[in-house]
Structures are given as structure tokens and as C-alpha cells.
A and B are shown apart, each in its own frame.
Chain A
Amino acid sequence: MNGKIEAKRQHTEQGKGHFLDLKLPIGWLLSAYGVLLGIYGLVTKKEMYEKSLGFNLNLAWGVLMLVIGAGFLLTAFLKRGKDG
């Protein structure tokens, strides 16, 4: 009985992958946020950042998010390239 379950499990594991590669939507969303915040940081004036103790938080965080987002996209595309 256990052997049968094991075989079924193996089949599930190899037979179908998960539905969609989540790295893509995460990557796109974070990259888009990064670009948007980065540009917004570039065009906004210094006075806006008094509350954030003088840091241009939008620019800095935008760049960070773009890097993370691009990282997700890169991993997803590399994996896809390998599989296909």
C-alpha cells in the first residue's frame, strides 16, 4: 500500500509543475514599483523628504526594489531557458 502511494507521489512530482511561475508577477510588480518610485524620487523636491529625515526615500527604495524585481525576473528567465 505504501509503495503505491509512493509511486503516485512520484508521478505528481514529475508529472505536473505548479500552475504558474510566481517569480514573474513578483518580478514585474517590484520592478514596476522600483521604476515608478525611482523616477518620482528624481523629480520631487528636497522639502518633501524632511519627514524622512532628509533621505530621498523614493529614489533609494525605488532602486532597491528595481534590483530585487530584476533579480526575480532574471531567475525566472534563466530557469525557463534551461527547461525549454
Chain B
Amino acid sequence: MDPVIALNAVDYAIIGGYILVMIFVGYSLKKYMKTGEDFFLSGRSLPSWITGLAFLSANLGALEVIGMVANSAKYGIATVHFYWVGAIPAMVFLGIFMMPFYYGSRVRTVPEYLKLRYNEATRGLNAISFAIMTVLMSGISLYAMALLFKLMLGWSLTGSILFAAVVVLLYVFWGGLSSSIYNEVIQFFLIWLGLLPIVFLGLKEVGGFSGFVAKLKEPLLHSVKYLGTSNNPLGVDWFGVVFGLGFVLSFGYWTTDFLVVQRALASKNINSARMTPIIASFPKMLVPIIVVIPGLVALIVLPEFSQAGLPATEYNSALILLMKHYLPNGILGLAITALLASFMSGMAGNVTAFNTIWTYDIYGTYIKKGKSDSHYLKMGKYATIFGIVISIGTTYIVRSFPNLMDYMQLVFSFFNAPLFGTFLLGMFWRGATAWGGFFGLLVGILTAAGHYILYKFGVLHYASDMAANFYQAWWAWLADFVVTIGVSLLTKKRDPAELKGLVFGLTPRTKAAVRWLARPEVWGSLAIIIAVILNIIFW
């Protein structure tokens, strides 16, 4: 098969320039990695504009971008729910209400918080499931990239998997979390610069928003109007969107996934940590510009998309076909570099989250306790290597699932959805007991898995796979919530003195030490207001 896109020397120079800068940044960070905290948490020294952009970019992997453009071509403007309902409220909530407990308690990882708040078993359950999940995600990123290069450049799957794995390995091995974060910030700029030309040209060719109205079916153009029943492009009703996606999946992901929370923990002080997700929420609101518009444009200008009844996997090629359609060599190299960067940072993010959890919560807790800091630093570096090796293996699992995005949602809902129930009760209800937390989480995960099995065997019916995912998240969360409360009422309460700094109401409020313009509450409220207005505009 001929490659879709023919690159020339200028394109390759742009790709090469990016790789060189990343390796240079990784290498120059090497000398600063003296302690475990330097390697795993960037020495808790970064300013909030860096952690904020990294917080956003950690989630804006190649897979996310390609998948969201595909979703937009498939579901239309309703894709904005993944942003304005499914991200902003959770990010603001994390910054305002939850970050004081994460950063304030000086924990190094999310599972470590669970250890302090509940018990060792809860930490173990979360740490192990997270380690597995994050390696799966890393494999997904790798596979997405390899598929992309195969389609675009005709590279072999194995070849590009190995090439990317080696580059990521080099810079994470040298610079740890800092490498990962710096790459994410660079990626943030590249992705906007690389994709905006498609947005401009696409809008010009179709004749702006009125062009969409004239040429696309009405249900594709509304985010909320058709959510009364599941008879809309998403196949999900409002309850599934608001409670499944907006509440459980979104809060589960943004507030408890160590991959994103780790960025905030790298901040230099508590105010920066709280500002991290809130700074990220503003560009997050704008991401639909570079994913939804191209998705809609694809439906109009690409001949491949004009016939109905496209098989699901074909949607994933929308973005690449648009690049081929609009971008001349030169700028084409930039767009491809942007995708390469967003893929690599996605993988690097997963690898750094993995090596941290592995070293602190699994190795340092169950395998070799109480070793020196330099021992764990070394282990973190080894974990980087075997994390990458396992992700390469994971790419073979991913090949058997046709729609990457739905798969991602599936993985999230098994592990993350119930977790948010555990955190919510842990941070805001002092009555939650150690074993209440553990059994709540366990039952939540089992509920998710059980629901998935019942759905797959046809016992439960939904209008679409996405609806099944959203409802699965909701039931898993509910099971976690109810079981945690139930078991807590039957088991021994913890001494309130032990919970100081971990639970709302037992923790002194953070003093507003900064001027009002720098306060997370002010910016968080502004983010919520803008998100509501955007939802109304695209109703």
C-alpha cells in the first residue's frame, strides 16, 4: 500500500528538529536528578504555567486528538461534551477542593493518599490496578502512533513502535517527570500551531459555521438539544452524559488519575498546585476548535466521508486525510511533528506515572521497604525501561479492538469511576473507615467488570457502546459509594486526629495568602461561567 502522505526533506527536518530538542532537553536535565523527588516529582519546583500546560497536554495525546476528530465526524458537535461537561467542572473541583489534601498532605502519589486516609490494602488495590492501566494506556499511545505512521508514511508498525519507544526511553530515563512535563509544554504549542491551519482552511472552504448548517444534518450541529432521549448521534441520553460522563468518568479521571495529578504535585507551592488544573481548564475549553471543526469539515470536504455507513475504524483516519487534503509540504511536517509530539508525550506521561507508582507504592512498599533514596532513584530508572518494554507488548493487545477511544473509556470506567467514590467520601466524610474504603473500591471495580460482561453477553441493552460505558461508570461509582458507606457504618471509626490534613473539616482552611487575582477560587469560578456560556451557545 502506498503511503497517504509523501514527506520531503523539509518535513523530515522539522520532525528531526523536534526529536533533537527533546533529547537535548532530556540530556540537560540529567545532572539535576539527584534525589528521588527530583526524578519523580521534578523536585516540587515548577511554576504553575508549566504544570498547568502539562496538566492539559498529558491528556491531549495523539490518541485523544485523532479519536476526538473521529468522534466529531461521527457524532458532530455533541463531542464538546467531552470538554465542557466532561472536563471543566472536574478540573475546577480538583483545584479548589481536592488539591489542598493532595499537596497539603505532602503525599508523593495518589495511592499514597489512600494509604494515609484508608489503609495499606486500599493503596495496594489502587496502585496495582493503576500500574496495569497506565501500561495499557502507554501501549495504546504507541499503537496509535504506529498506525498513524503506517498510514501516512508507510513505515512498518514494528519499526515506528521501536523508534518512538527508544526516544521516549532516552529522555525519561535522563530527566524523569521533568522531561515528561517539558515535552508536554512543547507539545502544547506544537499541537495548536500544527492543527490551526487545517481549521482556518477548512472553515474557509466550507464557508464558516453557516456552511456547516447548510451542508450537515441538523442533529450533528447541537450539543444538548437532542439529548432528551438516546435517539441522537451519540446514542446516549442526558442522564448518561451528565452523570456517567460529566460526573463519574470525568471526576474519576481528572481528580484521581495519577497521570494528571502528578503534574500538580510537581508545583512549587500549594497555590501553584491548586492553580494547575484551573490554568489548564482555559485552553481545555478551546480544544474543540482543533478537533470538532476538523471533524465536521472532514464530513463535507473529504469524498471518503460523504457516503453513509462508514465502518467505525475509518473515522480515525479523518485527521490524517485532512492533513493530506490541505497542507503543503513544510507545514505538513509541522502538523505531523505535532502529532508525533502529542503521541510521545502521552507515552512519556504514562511511563513516568508508572515508574513513580511502581517505585513508591509497589516496590518500596511490598518488595524492598526502607532502602535509601538513591536505591529508589535507581529503581525508578529501571522501571522506566521495563515499563516501556511492557507497553510494547501491550500494542499487540490493542490491535484487536477497533475503536481506540471507546476502549479507552472502557479502561477508565473499570478502574477510575469507582475510585472517585472512594475519594469523595475519603476527603469529605470523616466517617469513612479503612475497610469501608477498601471494600467500596473493590466492589466498584467488580461492578464495572460485571456490568461489562452482562452488556457483552447481551443481558443489558443500550442504544450505543458509548451509552453502555457511561452507565457502567455510573453504576460502578454508585456501588462504590453505597458499599463504602455501608461498610464504614459497621467497622471501627478512625481517630479524627489521624485524619488531620486528609479530610475536609479536620483540616485548617488554607489562608488566602495571595492577592485575589491569583486565587484559584476566582479563576475556577470564571472557568465554570465560561463553560456554561459555551454550552448555551452550542445548545
Binding site for B on A (CB under 8 A): 2, 5, 9, 12-13, 16-20, 22, 25-26, 28-30, 32-33, 36-37, 40-41, 44, 48-49, 51-53, 55, 57-58, 61, 64-65, 68
Contact = CB atoms under 8 A, between A and B. Distances in A.
Given A19-B42, A33-B334, A51 B326 contact: yes
Interface residues of B, number: 41
Given A37-B331, A40-B10, A65-B193, 16 more contacts: A5-B106, A13-B268, A18-B268, A20-B28, A20-B32, A25-B21, A29-B17, A30-B189, A33-B17, A36-B330, A37-B14, A52-B327, A55-B201, A57-B197, A57-B330, A61-B197
18 contacts: A12-B45, A18-B42, A18-B45, A18-B46, A18-B50, A19-B178, A20-B28, A22-B182, A26-B185, A26-B186, A32-B17, A36-B10, A44-B330, A48-B328, A51-B327, A53-B201, A61-B197, A61-B331
A68 B204 CA distance: 24
B328 A49 contact: yes
Interface of A is mostly: helix
Contacts of A26: 185-186, 189
B89 interface: no
Closest 7 CB pairs of A and B: A58-B330, A19-B32, A18-B45, A40-B330, A18-B46, A57-B331, A29-B21
A13 B513 CA distance: 14
B194 to A, nearest CB: 10
Contacts of A25: 21, 24-25, 182, 186
B309 to A, nearest CB: 28
Interface of B is mostly: helix
Contacts of B205: 53
Contacts of A18: 42-43, 45-47, 50, 178, 268
A22 B186 CA distance: 9
Nearest to A38: B330
Contacts of B47: 18
Interface string B16-56: 01100100110011001000000000111111001000000
B13 A36 contact: yes
Nearest to A17: B45
A51 B325 contact: yes
B287 interface: no
A52 B201 contact: yes
Contacts of B311: none
Nearest to B11: A40
Contacts of B331: 37, 52, 57-58, 61
A44 B24 CA distance: 31
Contact of A37 (B201, B268, B330): B330
B202 to A, nearest CB: 10
B499 interface: no
A37 B325 contact: no
A29 B18 contact: yes
A13 B29 contact: no
A10 to B, nearest CB: 8
Contacts of A37: 10, 14, 330-331, 334
A68 to B, nearest CB: 8
B160 to A, nearest CB: 22
B269 interface: yes
B519 to A, nearest CB: 17
Contacts of A48: 328-329
A57 B327 contact: yes
Contact of B328 (A20, A30, A36, A52): A52
Interface in B307-347: 325-331, 334
B487 interface: no
A2 B508 contact: yes
A25 B327 CA distance: 26
B14 A33 contact: yes
Contacts of A44: 328, 330
Given A17-B45, A25-B25, A57 B270 contact: no
B270 to A, nearest CB: 7
A9 B334 contact: no
A75 to B, nearest CB: 11
B193 A53 contact: no
A29 B183 CA distance: 12
Nearest to A59: B330
A53 B203 CA distance: 11
A12 B38 CA distance: 12
A40 B328 CA distance: 11
Contacts of A65: 193
B326 A52 contact: yes
A41 B330 contact: yes
Contacts of A22: 50, 182, 185-186
Interface in B117-159: none
A36 B14 contact: yes
B5 to A, nearest CB: 12
Given A25-B24, A53-B201, A61-B334, A12 B185 contact: no
A27 B497 CA distance: 50
Contacts of B50: 18, 22
Contacts of A57: 197, 201, 327-328, 330-331
